Structure 1
Amino acid sequence: MKIAVIGANGKAGRLIVKEALSRNLDVTAITRSENKSDAAKSLQKDLFSLKYEDLKDFDVIINAFGTSPANAPQHITSLMHLCDILSGKNNRLLIIGGAGSLYTNPEHTKKVIDAPDFPDAFKPTAGNMSKSLDELRKRDDVKWTYISPAAAFKADGARTGKYVLAGEEFTVNAKGESIISYADYAIAMIDEAVKGNHIQQRISVHGE
């Protein structure tokens, strides 16, 4: 299996690359600047400049794109650019999502981001990531999977080797916590890359 990781220089991207390499997968890092991940293969190119010719040989493309709150609308435009160039193709697109778009009621009318105590500082990023999922749901021409992490997404958290797979609704572990490390999230991401069980679905993961 050939996997490309867009944004491989980021904290999540590097751990996803590392996890994929640990399973002897063929990994290429796609980065805007010099490759700093463990991948031996790399393509230095801005996401918005990517064309299908750049991605055609990969079975799975993992979008680990990240940006500052000031540029938060790029979560939408970057994802739609990838969808446009992968439209009608067999390549799968996996996306690091956000927890703000998870539903908090069975009717799926309220999201985490809608809570009155949701921090204002996180709203630009969470709001635009939620909108990007709304746009993604309209795309039946792309083999996408959107994976939301837990509310507490810990960059320096330990790799326990375990995670809980959930769906569209906000869930917690036995301790009442919604938390997962980047390293454990990377395991879930590569599991989905290998298995492909949730095409055109949003799933979520949290730690035990």
Structure 2
Amino acid sequence: MKIAVICANGKAGRLIVKEAVDRGLDVTAIVRSDNTTAAKQVLKKDLFDLTADDLKGLDAVVDAFGAWTEDTLPQHSTSLKHLCDILSGTDTRLLVVGGAGSLYVNPEHTVCVADGPDFPDIFKPLAAAMAKALGELRERKDVRWTYISPAGDFQAEGERIGKYISGGEELTLNSRGESIISYADYAIAMVDEIINGANIQKRISVVRE
């Protein structure tokens, strides 16, 4: 399979590249600066400058874009719109590294993690921006997208356990009552979805077993 990982030099992107390379996928790292990943093929280009030709012929594109400052938070929406526009009508899958704040905590799907009293105020603008982008993504019927939310505690330096539980739109807890996953285990789930998944135009979630 031929895939590309956008923002591959980031913490999540780098581990997704490594997992994909280790499992024999043909991986292109899309980066703005010098490549620091395990990928042998590199496209040095800003996400917003990517064209349809840049992504032509790929089986899947992983969007590992992230923005955290107040002035860049709207780019969660604009970056996703740009990627959807250039992948529109193609067979190439778009898999998005999502957030946990928009996961639902009730069966009616009216209350999200970010609505909870214990959700840190400092992360609320980010959660809102990512939830907005997800809402806009749900409207795209012309793109074969999959949005993968991590567990609530998404650990950049966490251990690679090698096992995870798949969930859907609601926050899933493991047998110990935890909502936790490492970036490394999230990368396993991402590559599994690329290879075996059929969650087209769906949001799924993952938590450590």
What is the TM-score of this pair, normalised by structure 1?
Answer: 0.98
Q: Secondary structure at the match of 1:126?
A: helix
Amino acid of the structure 1 residue aligned with 2:172:
T
Aligned to 1:163: 164
Q: Could you list the runs of 5+ residues in structure 1 that have no partner in the other structure?
A: none
How far apart, CA to CA, are the structure 2 residues paired with 1:69 and 1:114? 21
Note the 1:75-94 alignment, pairs <5 A.
75-94=76-95
CA RMSD of aligned residues (A): 0.8
Separation in 1, partners of 2:9, 2:37: 6
Distance in 1 (alpha carbons) for counterparts of 2:34 and 2:68 = 20
Q: Which amino acid aligns with 2:14?
A: R
Residue-by-residue CA offset, 1:110-137 (whole Å, 9 max, x unaligned) = 1111112211111121111111110000
Between the two proteins, the alignment pairs up a number of residues equal to 208
CA distance in 2 between partners of 1:203 and 1:69 (Å):
26
Specify the alignment match of 1:19 in structure 2. 19
Q: Deviations over 1:31-77 (max 9, x none)?
A: 11111111110000000010100001211000001122321111111
For 1:36, give the aligned amino acid.
T
Contact 1:69 1:124 in 2 (8 A): no
**Structure 1 counterpart of 2:200:** 199
Q: CA deviation at 1:101?
A: 0.5
Matched, 1:54 2:48: no
AA aligned to 1:44 is K
Deviations 1:3-23 (A, max 9, x none): 100010001000000000111
Match of 1:115 in 2: 116
Runs of 4+ in 1 over 2 A off after TM superposition: none
CA distance in 2, matches of 1:114, 1:37: 36
Inter-partner Cα distance in structure 1 for 2:67 and 2:115? 22
Deviation at 1:147, TM superposition (A): 0.2
Partner of 1:95: 96
Once structures 1 and 2 are overlaid, which stretch shifts more, 121-130 or 92-101? Answer: 121-130
| Structure 2, unpaired ranges of 5+ | none
Question: How many percent of aligned residue pairs carry the same amino acid?
Answer: 65
Partner of 1:183: 184
Tell me the equivalent position of 2:173.
172
Q: Deviations over 1:135-167 (max 9, x none)?
A: 000001000000000000000111111000000
TM-score computed with the length of structure 2 as normaliser:
0.98
Distance in 1 (CA, whole Å) between partners of 2:159 and 2:15 is 12
